[in-house]
Amino acid sequence: MNRIDRISAILIQLQSRRVVKAGDIADRFNISLRTVYRDIKTLEEAGIPLIGEAGVGYSIMDGYRLPPVMFTREEATAFLTAEKFVEKLTDTSTMAQYQSAMYKVRAILKSSEKDALENLDGSIEVLKSHSQKRAGSTDHIQTILDCIICKKIMSIDYFAAHSQENTKREVEPVGVFFLDSLWHLIAYCRLRSDYRDFRMDRIRKLVVTDKSYVNSKHPTLKDYIDKMACEKQLEQVVIKVDKEIHSYLDHQKYYGGFVSEKTVGSKIEMTFLTISLEGFARWYMTFGDRAEIIRPDTLLQRVREITATIAQKIN
């Protein structure tokens, strides 16, 4: 990227957030802090009213606005691709908001770029598997995100799968994430006095209360997920499978906690870290006739027990 393009991109970055750190700019463009300072000075000399504070970062003075930014064809195509994912993997409100944003994006494109998007629209598709839940049936994502921004407490009617009970709880939302075709809410549950992972498809009803949690201190979503990953008791599993069936496990293996694999003679040795030996044992039995368990012995024993139970029922 040449210097003119970089300075333009830095200006756009400064408009995208209230405060931008010099280190963030340096990391994004892979340049030194000294080069960042020089580029910032160039923007100031061009008349951009920047405010800089040591240890905080740079911001553009309130009230200053630049004309609409023009998107390249590649950027517009990326927006269109993202729209396909939003349509299939989020809920109704999120899709409506994204479509509104896309109208604004299309409005400032050149005629040739608009035509290109129209022609490309039918050439991109995101397909959902039969087992994938439809996020649009709950329509909670935007409400939850608004509550996070405004620090509002939510009242939810939640179906707990482990107890098969409906419970009413007040929660302080921390963040949302998408995993294995499902949206999750991480929130501080006032009923349990601890953080909980709520599946959005199990939230039967959501009401925004008048109460706020502005004085509560919560971890970021990333910090919480990292902490939970460290605290989980993971057990190492090593198995060998015949090369002929290895390809059938390509997608399934990640659900079992796949870590690595290597070729050992006519077999593939696979290593996993799992939080549930019971679940792993039952998955292993779907291809166990073409595999062997190296360790742990407790997994081998459990597979034997399940096999014996099945044999008794068949006989």
Q: What strand order describes the sheet that includes 267-274?
A: 258-264, 267-274, 235-242, 291-295
What b-and-e string marks burial along 272-289, b requiring 16 or more CB atoms within 10 Å of the CB?
Answer: bebeebeebbebbeebbe
Rg (CA), the chain: 26
The count of C-alpha atoms lying within 13 angstroms of the C-alpha of 31, restricted to the half-sphere facing its C-beta, is: 20
pTM summary value: 0.66
Say what the pLDDT of residue 232 is. Answer: 73
- Is 45 within 8 Å of 55 (Cβ atoms)? no
**Residue given tokens 């299939």 in the structure block:** 88
List all residues 6 or more positions away from 132 whose beta carbon is below 8 Å from its beta carbon.
181
* Burial class of 131 by CB neighbour count within 10 A (0 to 12, 13 to 18, 19+): exposed
Which tokens belong to 78?
Answer: 């990326």
Q: 235-314 is classed in which CATH architecture?
A: 2-Layer Sandwich (3.30)
Angle at 52 between CA 61 and CA 60, to 5 degrees: 20
State how far the Cα of 137 lies from the Cα of 159, in Å rounded to an integer.
Answer: 15
Q: Which residues are bridge partners to 183 per DSSP?
A: 178
- In angstroms, rounded to a whole number, what is the distance separating the alpha carbons of residues 130 and 75? 31
Fold of 140-226: SH3 type barrels. (2.30.30)
- For 208-244, how does the pLDDT look when each residue is reduced to its tens digit (9 = 90+)? 999 999 888 999 998 998 888 777 778 899 999 999 9
Cβ pair 253, 291 in contact under 8 A: no
Angle, to 10 degrees, between the axis of helix 33-45 and the axis of helix 22-29?
110
For the four alpha carbons of 28, 34, 40 and 46, in that order, the dihedral sign comes to negative
Each of the 315 residues of the chain gets a pLDDT tens digit; together they read: 889 889 988 988 888 788 999 999 999 999 999 999 999 999 999 989 999 877 889 998 887 776 666 788 898 899 999 999 998 889 989 998 998 888 888 878 888 888 888 899 999 998 876 656 555 456 899 999 999 999 999 999 999 877 888 999 999 999 999 887 889 999 999 999 999 999 999 999 999 999 999 888 999 998 998 888 777 778 899 999 999 999 999 878 988 889 999 999 999 999 998 989 999 999 999 999 999 999 999 999 999 999 999 999 887
Give CA–CA dist 27/80, Å, rounded: 27
CATH class of 3-60: mainly alpha
pLDDT, one tens digit per residue, over 41-71 is 999 999 899 998 778 899 988 877 766 667 8
Kindly report the backbone phi and psi dihedral angles of residue 220, in degrees, each rounded to the nearest multiple of 5, phi listed first.
-70, 160
